[in-house]
């Protein structure tokens, strides 16, 4: 009875991936506790609730066969796009950005839906056109990707747009877009940088400029980067110890439990902690790529590969920004930062990975 | 399309995918490598640098201001003390719209127009980031009311601060001085003294008088506290603390009760008086009338009060005792007599017949005696008792200005006395050299004649006259006057007496001094010019009256006192010491526009002597100068 229940729960769970994820979220709760000042469990309980919901979603998604997921791709994308248009027309403005849609009973951020819907849709598209992929197919895929990215950029939300663009780009890349085209596009992209610069919002430009020289604006935009690098640097090799980071505990690190939580972690656990974190991330990525490599359909392969690489992008962009080598964009540290939405979309992504990893025998037979 | 074709296609696609995946995986690995390198750089190579920055972030060194030393008089009466009070301070740069904020504040606690004016003045004098008091001395209730509304007033903060109070108000204000907010000039001086570190957190400094001159003793040593602060600058906990060391207490030479008696004795007259202990140079009283209330300056004086003090024709801020340079008039006659005996130009027996004027050979204009018709037969003794000008015209001519200069300088004329507070002026003891340097003019014999009766170029401060008469009183030793006699160490409570600074005894014979002193005693007896100074007193007084001309009289013009406007009336002078046989107090005083020394100045001296020697407070007070006085 118990073993049957265990089987029911764990049948669609990928063991190695799950172990790495559990280690990451445990680490995350530990750091969130410290980042919320210690001594209060409010944040921890909140994050635990987020985690419970996200894990439940992971389990549900993992139990949905990839074929079903593929059928959901188009409606999910269509709904997501419609909601994004809704945001553009009726969205709520908070902190100068129009990202939220009030549905009456709750407020949602439709861009989050797209984090899953975009790779699913593109993978579905390439699966359908797997016989003879020509430039035309890649062009269509690019348009399908560009629509939501453009809408999200307009909100504006550079961080989410970057991640969604990355997720879509990974699908197209993995689908075999020729290197020549990639090289051409990259060159064109570089050439259009000045033009893009003109399109950026003032605060986005400032973030880029601040990255180049944070000391130019030490009390304004540069403050985040200066304080987070001080926190990390002062942590040294072994860190100041859990709950003992002065930069973190005395409020010098801004947004310390969300986007800048790595500064708290780096200060309190030092280089040793950072290495542990990088290793855990690498384990997740390696397992994800392995699942992708062994997946049995084009859709499954592309989806698994894109989700894994998007996860990598999350980690890289956040760690790069907090340590001062990338501009500040609103990207949380995956599995660690406080917050439910990002966690949910990420674990739903891993649910899909697990579905792919555990359903492949059925499909191939 | 055949099945084999499709299979080959599929395998090819899988190969492409796996290649791409490998490339992506390696790229991810490389990216993590870059991150790792970055973290090694930050946390290993640059660790010391960032550690220093983090410590600088969290540790703030807060100065702990020492308590200022207490000033007490010679009897232990407190003259300047500290009290703790709440002030409401504003940092203008953090307050947004200041006008509106203060208007809003006025609804919460009282903000008087005076407070606003004073604040405005402080704003003009200070930098924007300094915190400035908008209200001082808040009551507990006001503190509570503000605390509730605090959130409405960014940049406003209640602070508990030590304030200075001068319990005796106007009494002795010129001697004690006051403290005020540190201004640019003070700041430069502090920096020049390399004392900037010790003044961190201090915003008041001694400006004047004893408070100014003894700033180094009174201030103390600033302590410090290392405080852990958060990003908002709020103190979280104290890491370490070095206690401040309070400033030293001062024991001053003044007797505040004597001072009060003296100031009251001036009634409504302007003037100055310095009373010294002739043996020690202790300043027993230092009067400059009118005075001012030093308490006004402590929190920054408001413009209205400032204008009232600064623009008053009575010049209450001017310390007349040190800075008033007046012709000493006949008060210098005893010194001239001593010069005559010492130089041998006169013997005690030498007698003139005074016709009421004196003629300088070759000059047609007569030098008139103050008494029309003259004093008859006058020898040295009588010349002092009746203050005969004619005697001294001739004497001055015989001595010559440079001999007078040489003789008078050791008494302290023509130079600062060296009193231990700032602001003294040197007066003027003229000489032919001086006139040449000053005016590029030869000294004329006629110039000497008026110097002989303390007029002409000769100027002296009340302080100088007091020191000179004290020197006569103690037998001829000039003692540098002082206002502070001892310093009490704040930590050990040990009292360190400051040395009496006596100079070398002056070079004249005791019997000559005795002759002069005998004459000065007779000045205060019936027949002398200052009878009122000693009438009925159980002790002997030696003195000399004087009159300092305010408006020069043309030759032959009759001086009619009643017709001269009040402010053109002569200044009344008096120097004296008592008891004459064992001097305990010597003083010089000047009553501006008081007329004659005998009728206006001498009664003030009497009240001071009575109080100092007998502990007697004056009974009912007679109006000064109402006695039909004659004399000089």
- Considering only CB atoms, A252 lies closest to which of B32, B39, B57, namely B57
Measure in Å the smallest separation between the Cα of A289 and chain B Cα atoms: 7
| CATH, residue B599 | 3.40.710.10
- Judge: B43–A320 Cβ closer than 8 Å, yes or no: no
Bridge-based pairing of strands B352-354 and B283-289 is unpaired
Question: Distance between CA atoms of B206 and B199, rounded to whole angstroms?
Answer: 12
Domain end marker among B252, B272, B303? B252
**Model confidence over B218-242: pLDDT tens digits?**
999 999 888 888 887 777 888 888 8
What are the angstrom distances between the C-alpha of B394 and each of A202, B362, B370?
A: 96, 14, 15
In DSSP terms, A98 is beta-bridged to A93
User: What CA–CA distances, in Å, run from B302 to B26, B81, B89, B180?
Assistant: 76, 22, 16, 12
* Alpha carbon distance A5, B293 (integer Å): 92
8 Å CB contact of B21 and A289: yes
Same domain? B248 vs B327: no
Structure tokens at A49: 């609730």
With 0-12 / 13-18 / 19 or more C-beta atoms within 10 angstroms meaning exposed / middle / buried, residue A234 is buried
Is there a contact between B513 and B315 (Cβ–Cβ < 8 Å)?
no
> In terms of CA atoms, which chain A residue is nearest residue B48?
A234
CB-CB under 8 Å, A233 with B28: no
Report whether A306 contacts A145 (CB < 8 A).
no
pLDDT in tens, B251-276: 999 999 999 999 999 998 999 999 99
The residue to which tokens 């040990």 are assigned: B494
pLDDT band at B561 (very low <50, low <70, confident <90, very high): low
DSSP string, B34-63: HHHHHHHIIIIITHHHHHHHHHHHHEEEEE
**Domain membership flag for residue B229:** yes
Sort out which chain B residues have CB atoms less than 8 A from A286's CB and list them: 25
Asked if B474 and B359 sit in the same domain, the reply is yes
pLDDT digits (tens, 9 = 90+) for B52-66: 999 988 888 888 889
Q: What are the distances in angstroms from CA B486 to CA B251, B282, B300, B498? A: 5, 11, 30, 5
Q: Domain for residue B316, yes or no?
A: no
d(CA B541, CA B580): 5
User: Which of A227, A246, A325 has its CB closest to that of B38?
Assistant: A325
pTM, entire model: 0.72
CA-nearest of B597, B443, B467, B612 to B533 is B597
Tokens 């400029």 sit on residue:
A209
CA distance B456 to B452: 9
Contact A174 B20 (CB under 8 A): yes
Buried b (16+ CB within 10 A) or exposed e, B531-561: bbbbeebeebbbbbbbbbbbeeeeeeeeeee
Q: Which residues of B touch A301 (CB under 8 A)?
A: 14, 17
Strands (E), B508-548: 542-548
Same domain, B330 and B226: no
Domain for residue B628, yes or no? no
- Scanning every residue of chain B, which has its alpha carbon at the shortest distance from the alpha carbon of A247? B54
A323 vs B42, B55, B230: nearest CB: B42
DSSP symbol at B623:
P
For Cα atoms A74, A75, A80, give the angle at the middle one, nearest 5 degrees.
Answer: 100
Structural tokens at position B273: 């008086």
Rounded to 10 deg, the angle between the A222-235 and A298-322 helix axes is 90
Are B453 and B330 in contact, with CB atoms under 8 Å apart?
yes
Q: Verify whether the Cβ–Cβ distance B28 to A316 is below 8 Å.
A: yes
B325-378, pLDDT tens digit by residue? 999 999 999 999 999 999 999 999 999 999 989 988 888 888 998 888 889 999
Element containing residue A210 per DSSP (H, E): helix A202-212
Interface contact flag, A323 B231, Cβ < 8 Å:
no
Find chain A residues with C-beta within 8 A of B3's C-beta: none
In tens digits, what is the pLDDT along chain A, a chain of 365 residues?
788 888 888 889 999 999 999 999 999 999 999 998 877 788 889 899 999 999 999 999 999 999 999 999 999 999 999 999 998 888 888 777 777 777 776 777 888 889 999 999 999 999 998 877 788 889 999 999 999 999 998 888 888 999 999 999 999 999 988 899 889 988 998 888 888 888 777 877 777 777 677 766 666 667 888 899 999 999 999 999 999 999 988 888 888 999 999 999 999 999 999 999 999 999 999 999 999 999 989 999 999 999 999 999 999 999 999 999 988 888 899 999 998 888 999 999 999 999 999 986 544 43
Task: Please state the domain extents for chain A.
Answer: 16-359
Tell me which H or E stretch contains B283: strand B283-289
Domain count, chain B: 2
**Residue of A339, A276, A242 lying closest to A31 (CA atoms):** A242
Question: What pLDDT band is residue B1 in, cutting at 50, 70 and 90?
Answer: very low
Contact at 8 Å (CB) between B250 and B217?
A: yes
Which of chain A's residues have a Cβ under 8 Å away from the Cβ of B47?
Answer: 233-237
* CATH number of B205's domain: 3.90.1310.10
B262 within 8 A of B273, measured Cβ to Cβ:
yes
Spot the catalytic one: B126, B173, B288, B330. B330
Tell me: pLDDT of B631 over 70: no
Find, in chain B, the residue whose alpha carbon is nearest to that of A287.
Answer: B25
8-state DSSP, B421: S
Contacts of B234 in chain A (CB under 8 A): none
pLDDT of residue B564: 56
Task: Look at the block and give the residue holding tokens 């290197």.
Answer: A179
- Mark which of B252, B267, B301 sits at the end of a domain: B252
Q: How far is CA B522 from CA B248, B347, B518, B583, B600, in A?
A: 46, 19, 6, 16, 18
Helix, strand, or coil here: A327?
coil
What ipTM was predicted for this assembly?
Answer: 0.94
Amino acid A100: pLDDT: 79
Spell out which residues of chain B touch residue A251, defining contact as CB-CB under 8 Å. 230-232
Q: Are residue B187 and residue B79 in the same domain, yes or no?
A: yes
Interchain CB distance below 8 Å, A271 and B43: yes
Can B288 be counted among the known catalytic residues? no
More confident residue, B39 or B100: B39
B71-72 vs B249-252, strand pairing mode:
parallel
Beta carbons of B422 and B213 less than 8 angstroms apart: yes
B498 and B482 Cβ atoms separated by less than 8 Å: yes
CB contact under 8 A, A305 and B36: no
Domain of residue B510 covers 323-481+498-609
The angle, 0 to 180 degrees and rounded to 10, between the axes of the packed helices A202-212 and A222-235 is: 40
Contact A237 B36 (CB under 8 A): no
For A305, the closest chain B residue by CA position comes to: B21
Instruction: For residues B517-545, give the mean pLDDT.
Output: 90
Residues of B in contact with A316 (CB under 8 A): 28, 31-32, 35
Q: Which residues contact B223 (CB under 8 A, 6 or more apart)?
A: B63, B64, B66, B241, B242, B243, B244, B245
Torsion from C-alpha of B485, B489, B493, B498, nearest 10 degrees: -20
Out of B34, B49, B236, closest to residue A233 by CB: B49
Angstrom distance (rounded) from CA B418 to CA B415: 9
Tokens of B342: 């010492």
State the nearest Cα–Cα gap between B131 and chain A, in angstroms. Answer: 21
**Whole-angstrom distance, CA of residue B68 vs CA of residue B215:** 9
CB contact under 8 Å between A251 and B43, yes or no, is no
């Amino acid at each position: 009875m118990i073993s049957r229940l265990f089987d029911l729960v764990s049948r669609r769970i990928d063991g190695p991936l799950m172990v790495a994820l559990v280690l990451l979220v445990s680490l995350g709760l530990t750091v969130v506790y410290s980042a919320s000042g210690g001594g209060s469990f409010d944040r921890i309980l909140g994050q635990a609730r987020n985690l419970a919901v996200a894990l439940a979603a992971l389990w549900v998604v993992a139990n949905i066969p990839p074929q079903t997921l593929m059928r959901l791709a188009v409606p999910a994308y269509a709904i997501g796009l419609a909601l994004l248009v809704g945001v553009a027309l009726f969205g709520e403005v908070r902190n100068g950005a129009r990202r939220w849609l009030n549905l009456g009973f709750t407020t949602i951020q439709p861009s989050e839906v797209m984090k899953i819907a975009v790779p699913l849709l593109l993978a579905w598209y390439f699966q359908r056109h797997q016989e003879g992929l020509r430039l035309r197919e890649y062009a269509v895929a690019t348009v399908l990707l560009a629509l939501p990215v453009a809408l999200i950029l307009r909100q504006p939300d550079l961080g989410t747009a970057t991640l969604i663009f990355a997720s879509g780009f990974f699908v197209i890349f993995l689908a075999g877009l020729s290197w020549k085209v990639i090289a051409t596009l990259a060159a064109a992209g570089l050439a259009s940088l000045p033009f893009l610069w003109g399109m950026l919002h003032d605060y986005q430009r400032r973030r880029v400029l601040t990255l180049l020289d944070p000391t130019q604006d030490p009390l304004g935009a540069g403050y985040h980067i200066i304080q987070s690098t001080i926190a990390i640097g002062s942590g040294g090799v072994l860190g100041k110890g859990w709950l003992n980071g002065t930069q973190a505990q005395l409020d010098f690190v801004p947004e310390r439990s969300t986007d800048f939580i790595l500064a708290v972690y780096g200060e309190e656990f030092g280089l040793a902690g950072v290495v542990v974190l990088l290793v855990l991330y690498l384990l997740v990525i390696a397992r994800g790529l392995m699942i992708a490599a062994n997946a049995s359909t084009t859709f499954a392969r592309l989806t698994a590969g894109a989700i894994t690489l998007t996860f990598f992008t999350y980690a890289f962009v956040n760690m790069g920004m907090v340590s001062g080598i990338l501009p500040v964009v609103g990207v949380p540290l995956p599995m660690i930062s406080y917050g439910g939405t990002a966690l949910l979309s990420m674990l739903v992504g891993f649910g899909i990975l697990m579905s792919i990893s555990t359903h492949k025998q059925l499909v191939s037979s | 399309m055949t099945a084999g074709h499709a299979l080959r296609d599929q395998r090819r696609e899988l190969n492409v995918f796996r290649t791409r995946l490998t490339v992506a995986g390696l790229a991810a690995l490389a990216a993590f490598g870059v991150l790792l390198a970055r973290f090694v750089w930050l946390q290993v190579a640059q660790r010391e640098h960032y550690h220093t920055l983090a410590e600088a972030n969290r540790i703030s060194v807060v100065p702990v201001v020492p308590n200022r030393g207490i000033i007490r008089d010679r009897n232990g009466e407190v003259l300047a003390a500290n009290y703790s009070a709440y002030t409401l301070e504003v940092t203008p740069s953090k307050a947004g719209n200041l006008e509106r904020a203060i208007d809003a504040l006025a609804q919460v606690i009282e903000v008087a127009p005076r407070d606003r004016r004073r604040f405005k003045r402080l704003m003009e004098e200070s930098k924007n980031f300094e915190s400035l008091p908008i209200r001082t001395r808040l009551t507990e209730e006001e503190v509570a009311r503000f605390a509730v509304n605090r959130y409405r007033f960014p940049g406003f903060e209640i602070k508990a601060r030590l304030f200075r109070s001068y319990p005796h108000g106007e009494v002795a204000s010129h001697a004690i001085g006051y403290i005020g907010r540190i201004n640019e000039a003070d700041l430069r001086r502090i920096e020049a003294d390399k004392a900037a570190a010790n003044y961190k957190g201090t915003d008041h400094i001694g400006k004047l008088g004893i408070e100014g001159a003894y700033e180094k003793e009174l201030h103390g040593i600033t302590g410090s506290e290392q405080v852990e602060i958060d990003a908002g600058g709020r103190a979280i906990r104290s890491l370490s603390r070095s206690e401040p060391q309070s400033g030293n207490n001062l024991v001053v030479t003044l007797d505040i009760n004597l001072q009060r008696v003296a100031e009251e004795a001036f009634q409504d007259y302007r003037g100055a008086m310095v009373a010294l202990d002739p043996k020690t140079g202790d300043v027993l009283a230092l009067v400059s009338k009118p005075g001012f209330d030093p308490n006004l300056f402590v929190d920054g004086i408001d413009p209205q009060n400032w204008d009232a003090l600064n623009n008053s024709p009575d010049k209450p801020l001017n310390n007349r005792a040190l800075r008033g340079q007046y012709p000493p008039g006949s008060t210098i006659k005893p010194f001239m007599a001593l010069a005559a005996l010492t130089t041998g130009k006169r013997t005690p027996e030498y007698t003139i017949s005074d016709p009421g004027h004196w003629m300088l050979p070759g000059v047609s204009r007569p030098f008139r005696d103050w008494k029309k018709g003259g004093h008859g037969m006058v020898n040295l003794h009588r010349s002092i008792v009746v203050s005969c000008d004619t005697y001294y015209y001739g004497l001055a001519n015989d001595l010559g200005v440079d001999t007078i200069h040489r003789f008078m300088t050791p008494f302290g004329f023509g130079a600062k006395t060296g009193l231990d507070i700032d602001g003294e002026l040197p007066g003027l003891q003229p000489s032919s050299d001086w006139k040449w340097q000053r005016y590029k003019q030869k000294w004329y014999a006629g110039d000497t004649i008026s110097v002989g009766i303390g007029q002409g170029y000769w100027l002296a401060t009340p302080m100088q006259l007091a020191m000179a008469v004290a020197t006569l009183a103690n037998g001829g030793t000039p003692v540098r006057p002082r206002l502070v006699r001892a310093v009490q160490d704040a930590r050990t409570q040990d009292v360190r007496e400051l040395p009496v600074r006596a100079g070398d005894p002056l070079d004249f014979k005791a019997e000559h001094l005795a002759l002069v002193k005998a004459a000065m005693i007779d000045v205060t007896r019936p027949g002398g010019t200052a009878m009122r100074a000693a009438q009925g007193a159980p002790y002997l007084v030696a003195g000399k009256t004087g009159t300092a001309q305010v408006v020069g009289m043309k030759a032959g013009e009759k001086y009619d006192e009643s017709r001269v406007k009040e402010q053109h009336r002569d200044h009344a002078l008096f120097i004296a010491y008592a008891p004459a046989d064992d001097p305990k107090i010597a003083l010089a005083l000047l009553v501006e526009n008081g007329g004659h020394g005998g009728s206006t100045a001498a009664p003030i001296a009497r009240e001071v002597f009575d109080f100092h020697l007998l502990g007697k407070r004056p009974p009912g007070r007679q109006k000064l100068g109402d006695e039909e006085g004659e004399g000089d």
